[in-house]
Structure 1
Amino acid sequence: MTTTTSATPTSQPQQVSWSKPLEGWVKLNEDGNRRSEPPSLAIGGVLRNSHGSWIIGFSNKVGHASVLEYEIRPLRDGLSLAWTLGYRKVEVASDSQVTVQLTKDFKFHPLGALLEDCRKYLLRQWDCRLHHSLREANQVADALAELGHECTSGETLWANPPRNVETIVNNDRMGMIYIRN
């Protein structure tokens, strides 16, 4: 398991873009989303290949959970999906530094069972690299998590990008640059 963090606080504007995984790898972007009115938590994620093409996406309404749990659940669910589909070279990008750090190193935590599930997936017989990414480079996963609020029962799998996510996917593939202040 390789875990890195790449974000550094800065007051200077930064150019940020989604980056493709290495040739032969897939990339999992995952995210959680919270609405305050009415209270709702949802998760989402996407697997894309080394050309930036869509493989599969997922969305799910989580229900009641802590803020940290809705950041960890999409990691576990995305790793499970990638493993189940047979991918064995997976780059994972999470915009939650806390999730990345806790998955790497925790002793006792109220969400220990969920974190242990993630760790067990990361330690399986595959090349799986988890790192932190900036929120601006995770917009597709964020949009899929937002769609999770509309899920009525169980996880929704997206064989193709939903209409309101398609533009973001195309911008990523073209190397659209976002400015982070």
Structure 2
Amino acid sequence: MVIANNAFVELAEAATFDQLRGRALADFVGRPGIDLELIENQLTKHGFARNVGTVVRGRNGESEEPVELSAVRTGGETPHYGFAIRQIGRRLRDLPPASQELPRSVEQLTELVGRVALKDIVRESTDLIERLCIEAALSYTSDNRASAAEVLGLSRQSLYSKLHRYGLGNLMDESE
């Protein structure tokens, strides 16, 4: 590292920049062997990388803070790199799960690659498939929840829970 601002020094859990000087960015940013390679590939291909979801690890490697990283690279024989790192942990914690709209297509999910961790893409994919199956079962059974639960191999209570989770159906009338 050649230079870093005070915000990065704080994220890296260092007292001063001198504790970071000369260390590789990979010591602090990204999941080992994944994120920085992805960012480097984007920089090589496009000259920039935008809004890549990653983490900044503390100086001792014990803590991780979710961040969004954007980067640029200058051309020439000795390229220089610039990084903008924004903390997103608080923003992620403050979002209620119901307010996050699920992707509706494979294309939208694949666009998340490189910006979101695989485990989060898998979770979103699972949620998407589950929601689509519930919607199909409700359509197939003309909105008969008991039959839809049976078609899906769920208890009615599990189906009601999933309906509530995804905001599906008229949940006002739960006396069915």
Q: TM-score range by the shorter chain?
A: under 0.3
Identify which of structures 1 and 2 has the higher relative contact order when contacts are C-alpha pairs closer than 8 Å and 6+ apart: 1
What is the TM-score with the length of structure 1 in the denominator? 0.25
What is the TM-score with the length of structure 2 in the denominator? 0.25
Q: Determine which structure has more spread, i.e. the larger CA radius of gyration.
A: 2
